[in-house]
Amino acid sequence: MSGHGTPIKMTSRACGPLKGTAEVPGDKSISHRALILGALSVGETKITGLLEGEDVLDTAKAMRAFGAEVTQHGPGSWSVHGVGVGGFAEPEDVIDCGNSGTGVRLIMGAMATSPIVATFTGDGSLRKRPMGRVTDPIRLFGAQAFGRHGGRLPMTILGAPSPAPVRYATPMASAQVKSAVLLAGLNAPGQTVVIEKTPTRDHTERMLRGFGAEITTEVTEQGHVITLQGQPELKAQEVAVPRDPSSAAFPVCAALIVPGSEIVVPGVSQNPTRNGIFITLREMGADLTFENEREEGGEPVADLRVRYSKLHGIDVPAERASAQIDEYPVLSVVAAFAEGVTRMPGVHELRVKESDRIDAMARGLEANGIKIEEDEDTLIVHGCGPEGVPGGGTAVTHLDHRIAMSFMVLGMAAQQPVSVDDGSPIATSFPIFEDLMAGLGAEIVRADR
Ligand code: S3P
């Protein structure tokens, strides 16, 4: 889809204690990958717990356009009849990945080593985001890419007719870039190698292994060296998608700042490349415990129990940035309710997310009476203490779901209600956000209701 329709103004106001169980949706990263790897496998992949947000539904549509049979059987329950590695058909029409950087970048990688042509586009946010980070490495396989100025969508990719394997050191910490190269490497002969100086989420590696590819990760002085043997026969799998830690972060952070709250968020992935936010919150003084630690669908998961806590500001280690990259917006909200200053260095990648998240958070926090400092790579929040956040402002979300949800959390414990100009992008990753938060006791209203 190319937009999110009419903007939906939303307002969140201070509420009583949040109580209950928050069953957040399936992990977005794993959901995209389950559909794409299912489409590249032979046989029927069965998926449970799939996130049915707009981003993932756009990837499902794209996989159909490349020739896979993708069927929904019930809530979260899907099957994919794959076409096998190298079996993608040429799409008849433009592939619209909506708001999803993960969707478009992974799919570009997956088709780059097949002799087909595809044109990609997205919504107003995605069309502003850089695609050069994926087209640079896929050109090394022999693919060609023609996009708008600055490597922007819409963009046409001509897949390589006789791809060569690639050895590629990712210039930025990006799981999307790593994954695009690995997915391209699937249909190249020989070994494709990706070197990551800073490790990023490893779902692609784990899932490729699960689907039967030969893939190893070696920890060396250069960083993580990931080696994939090309042209495997991927075999259909049953994928149980764990709940998304990035979505769990919203009710968890809300419970930490709303006095008297206690909630449980069950079955949340604790993959060490994703759990930075929970470590950071505990360092800030959060009463957050992990219960029933177990393994589900190849990922470590736990039930999170969270109680309202008096928090203090900290210096967040820059090395943790990639393990909590999507959680900085809501972390900066929590920091506003802490005593003292929270410094978040090493976050320049936030500038090229669904919005420039440093700028969007900084402007929105200022509009709600919170003092911040920023530079290209850092966000600093001066905490107002648990009862001292003024609120009363409206944040601009720039088609960014996480900016919208973060400011709705801010309003739950601020002195005055907090609004966002447009909450419609929340549907891209967390379509049940409003109902789930209302079920815990939050008060979020839409201007049109
Ligand atoms: C994702 C990787 C991250 C993250 C995004 C999902 C993925 O992006 O921000 O929400 O599923 O691979 P980058 O690869 O750009 O860091």
Question: CA angle 205-208-209, nearest 5°?
Answer: 85
Which of 56, 100, 174, 299 most suits a substitution to test ligand 1, by most atoms within 8 Å of the C-beta?
A: 174
pLDDT digit string (tens) for 249-265? 999 999 999 999 999 99
Residue type at 317 in one-letter notation: P
Q: Kindly tell me the sign of the dihedral angle through the C-alpha atoms of 14, 374, 361, 329.
A: negative
- pLDDT, averaged across the chain: 97
- State yes or no: 322 annotated in a binding site: no
* pLDDT at residue 152 greater than cutoff 60: yes
Lateral strand order in the sheet of 10-13: 394-395, 418-420, 10-13, 443-446
Structure tokens at 435: 């109902």
Q: Whole-angstrom Cα distance, residue 102 to residue 370?
A: 32
pLDDT at 408 over 50: yes
pLDDT band at 284 (very low <50, low <70, confident <90, very high): very high
Determine the average pLDDT of the residues in 79-85: 98
Q: Is 174 annotated as a binding residue?
A: yes
pLDDT of residue 448: 63
**Tens of pLDDT along 364-381?**
999 999 999 999 999 999
| Mean pLDDT for the stretch of residues 128-143 | 98
The pLDDT tens digits for 305-357 are 999 999 999 999 999 999 999 999 999 999 999 999 999 999 999 999 999 99
User: What pLDDT sits at residue 401?
Assistant: 98
DSSP type of residue 350: G
Closest ligand 1 atom to Cα of 175: 14
Active-site pick, 326, 377, 400, 448:
326
Give backbone dihedrals phi and psi of 141, rounded to 5 degrees, phi first: -75, -15
**12 CA distance to ligand 1 middle (Å):** 28
pLDDT tens by residue, 295-308: 987 789 999 999 99
Place of tokens 């586009």: 121
CA of 17 to the centre of ligand 1 (A): 33
pLDDT score of 146 more than 60: yes
Task: Tell me the average pLDDT across 115-136.
Answer: 98
Q: Is 326 a catalytic residue?
A: yes
- 351 CA distance to ligand 1 centroid (A)? 13
What's the pLDDT at 298? 79
CA angle, 300 then 235 then 143, to 5°: 95
- Smallest CA-to-CA distance from 402 within 348, 343, 344, 358 is with 358
Q: In 262-376, which ranges are continuous DSSP H helix?
A: 276-283, 328-336, 357-367
Q: What SS3 string covers 39-98?
A: HCCECEEEEECCCCCHHHHHHHHHHHHCCCEEEEEECCEEEEECCCCCCCCCCCCCEECC
Percent of the chain with pLDDT over 90: 97
d(CA 440, CA 251) in angstroms, rounded, equals 9
Distance CA 50, CA 27 (A): 7
Q: Which atom of ligand 1 is nearest to the CA of 322?
A: 16
Percent of the chain with pLDDT over 70: 99
Ligand 1: list residues with CB < 6 Å: 29, 102, 174-176, 179, 201, 325-326, 349
In this prediction, residues 389-415 reach a mean pLDDT of: 98
Q: Would residue 266 be called left, alpha or beta, if left means φ above 0 and alpha means ψ between -120 and 50 degrees? A: beta
pLDDT computed for residue 449 by the predictor: 56
Known binder of ligand: residue 178?
no
Q: Cα–Cα distance between 68 and 139 in angstroms, integer?
A: 25
Residue nearest to atom 9 of ligand 1 (CA): 326
| 30-48 tens-digit pLDDT | 999 999 999 999 999 999 9
pLDDT digits (tens, 9 = 90+) for 169-217: 999 999 999 999 999 999 999 999 999 999 999 999 999 999 999 999 9
**33 labelled ligand-binding:** yes
pLDDT at 4 over 90: no
Distance CA 411, CA 417 (A): 5
**pLDDT at residue 80 in the model:** 99
Tell me: the pLDDT tens digits for 118-128?
Answer: 999 999 999 99
Which of 27, 29, 197 best tests ligand 1's pocket when mutated (most atoms within 8 Å of CB)?
29
Cα-to-centroid distance, 70 and ligand 1 (Å): 24
Three-state DSSP class for residue 232: coil
Residue with tokens 């109580």: 19
d(CA 438, CA 408): 12
Element (H, E) at 177: helix 175-185
**Ligand 1 pocket check: which of 30, 33, 176 to mutate, most ligand atoms within 8 Å of Cβ?**
176
Q: Is the pLDDT of residue 113 over 80?
A: yes
Residue 287 labeled ligand binder: no
Q: How confident is the model at residue 1 (pLDDT cuts 50, 70, 90)?
A: very low
Q: State residue 297's pLDDT score.
A: 75
The Å distance, Cα 322 to ligand 1 centre, comes to 9
2 pLDDT band, cuts 50/70/90, is: very low
Cβ neighbours for 168, distance < 8 A, ≥ 6 positions apart: 137, 140, 181, 192, 193, 194, 195
